[in-house]
A = this chain, B = another copy of it.
Amino acid sequence: MIVEMKTGAPQQDIDNVVEKVKTLGMDVQLNVGTDKTVIAILGGNTGKVSTDTFAVMSGVETVTRIMKPYKLASREVKARDTVVTVKDKSVEIGKKRIIVMAGPCAVESEDQLRQAASAVKEAGASVLRGGAFKPRTSPFSFQGLEGKGLTLLDKIKKEFDMPIITEIVNPQDVDMIAEVADILQIGTRNMQNFALLTAVGKTKKPAVLKRAFSCTVTEWLTAADYLLAAGDRNVILCERGIRTFEDSTRFSLDISSIPVVKKFSHLPIIVDPSHAAGHYSLVPAIAKAAVAAGADGLIIEVHPNPEEALVDGLQSLTPANFEKLMKELRPIAEAVGRYI
């Protein structure tokens, strides 16, 4: 941590900062510049001390943290890439194979889910997605089939022998959902719902942590620390677009977050092109970009009949368009040394 004193700060102010550093059990080194004094605070546990501790002191201009705030998600703690194994090793995320998860935004009926499962499995997806509990922005919108949806997921999953991923929105539902789901999904609006993160983390199940559309990569990795600290080593990050001023898409997919995550973290990262785009016609280009940039997987909305979808129909691919996309993705995967 670097404490920059104000120009002309009196010696007493500098001494007070040094004194405080020492009482906190850390080392200090003083840089007396021509203009200002700069104090470097050293020691392995400076990460536990808030920058405010020094920023509020008299004579201090700024305090800059050099250590990143996340720990367990960082490459410094674990250098080797994490591979998340789902359901008896049939699906591994973070290896050469790019994993595609696909299905409807919301489970609407047995027929709908069966048709979707059949289509996406046929086209090469490894995991079925489908929401039973939906976080909707208005209380007057369809909220998902809830318990009944979960039952349908369980049924179709067995019928097609596909692992499923489904969203969890309330800490109280963790046990019920963990019994059926192979991967628990934490949605963008819950990335900093710490009660939920802790509850999910305790299951130690594979968990997809969607990036909050308003949070930095640093905050995202720090939220992943909640899952990891609760004992869950099976964390998969999911980039799904951030909120910006651009209005031609629903969110702006932050393609650069893929190499940034790969640089600073050992966790696998997948991409959701559907929620970022908001329109099915833009999904293929974003999906291709994600694979080329190094994503370990994709999660794509596919609906047997988007015109009848209760939620997010506009961003859902038809089975035919999904099959076409899968064919187009394969040579790109190969071009970056991977396969689908």
Contact = CB atoms under 8 A, between A and B. Distances in A.
Given A255-B286, A307-B56, A31 B38 contact: no
A294 interface: yes
Interface stretch (A90-98, A111-119, A309-317): A309-317
A31 B35 contact: no
A198 B53 CA distance: 37
Interface string A128-140: 0000000111111
A331 interface: yes
A140 B269 CA distance: 23
A34 B40 contact: no
A192 B193 CA distance: 10
Interface stretch (A64-72, A157-165, A177-185, A202-210): A64-72
A30 B330 CA distance: 45
Interface string A307-340: 1011111111000000000001001101110000
Interface stretch (A81-89, A147-155, A167-175): A167-175
Contacts of A217: 246, 248
A118 to B, nearest CB: 21
A44 B35 CA distance: 6
A276 interface: yes
Interface residues of A, number: 115
B38 A66 contact: yes
A201 to B, nearest CB: 9
Nearest to A260: B248
Contacts of A190: 193
Given A64-B64, A285-B256, A214 B243 contact: yes
Given A140-B47, A292-B291, A259 B286 contact: yes
A309 B52 contact: yes
B137 A192 contact: yes
A310 B48 CA distance: 11
A7 to B, nearest CB: 6
Contacts of A172: 171-172, 195
A69 B137 contact: yes
Given A137-B223, A246-B254, A258-B285, 7 more contacts: A56-B280, A135-B194, A244-B252, A249-B256, A256-B276, A259-B281, A262-B285
8 contacts: A33-B42, A69-B138, A139-B229, A216-B246, A242-B244, A242-B252, A259-B282, A292-B332
Q: What are the nearest 3 A-B pairs in CB distance?
A: A214-B214, A292-B292, A331-B335
